[in-house]
Amino acid sequence: MAITTCIFDAYGTLFDVAAAAREAAAEPGREAFAQHWQQVANDWRLKQLQYTWLRAVADAHSDFWEVTQNGLDWALEASGLDGDAELRERLLALYWELSAYPEVPAMLAKLKAAGMNTGILSNGSPDMLNGAVASAGVQDVLDDVLSVEDVQIFKPAAVVYDLVGKRFDCAKSEVLFVSSNGWDAGCATGYGFTTAWVNRAGEPVDRLPWTPQHILTDLTSIPDLASS
């Protein structure tokens, strides 16, 4: 069955999760943070993801904004920066305005021009996602933004992927699901979606029962992949 619907993870896929730390490090007066920003960004993202998995298996859901703050607090303490309350607040503020990757607007516009349904399926809370979408200026090329808050559990729970079929009234085989997380793309393969992993960092494939069907270095070729 042909692809009719292209669904994207948000953070790390459409939006650059390192942008908040990178932009803060470039601001005047943050020379001390500039020495640590890459480690903070990496730790922040890793803990953010780990906390979603732990909350899912422990049946202890909280929204993604709380998880994001928890991850940042761990990352700042690990780098000896937990005493800088102003830095913490600045990083959190910047997270609401993450930059989209350069190819995102044109890629989404091509999908819409080809008649595809487009959407986000994310662990993010609705207000966070709406802020990121508005900041990136891609509202007009997305049909919907779906959040795990509707089902109160994080990915890769199957009920999260169920949201796509319910919203777009499409079969699993009609969906191209795109994520920068190899585990997310792999689990979506197991769910029944056609999948693409955007592996910008050249990481190894996760050792899971399923693997992404396509591995890309950026999102530029998604319109061609969807129509092939």
Provide the annotated active-site residues. 9
- What's the DSSP call for residue 106? H
Q: Residue 9's closest CA among 200, 228, 170, 140?
A: 200
HSE of 100 in the Cβ direction (CA atoms, 13 Å)? 22
Helix (H) or strand (E) holding 144: strand 144-147
Q: For residues 176 and 165, give the distance between their C-alpha atoms in angstroms, rounded to a whole number.
A: 12
Q: For residues 70 and 47, give the distance between their C-alpha atoms in angstroms, rounded to a whole number.
A: 8
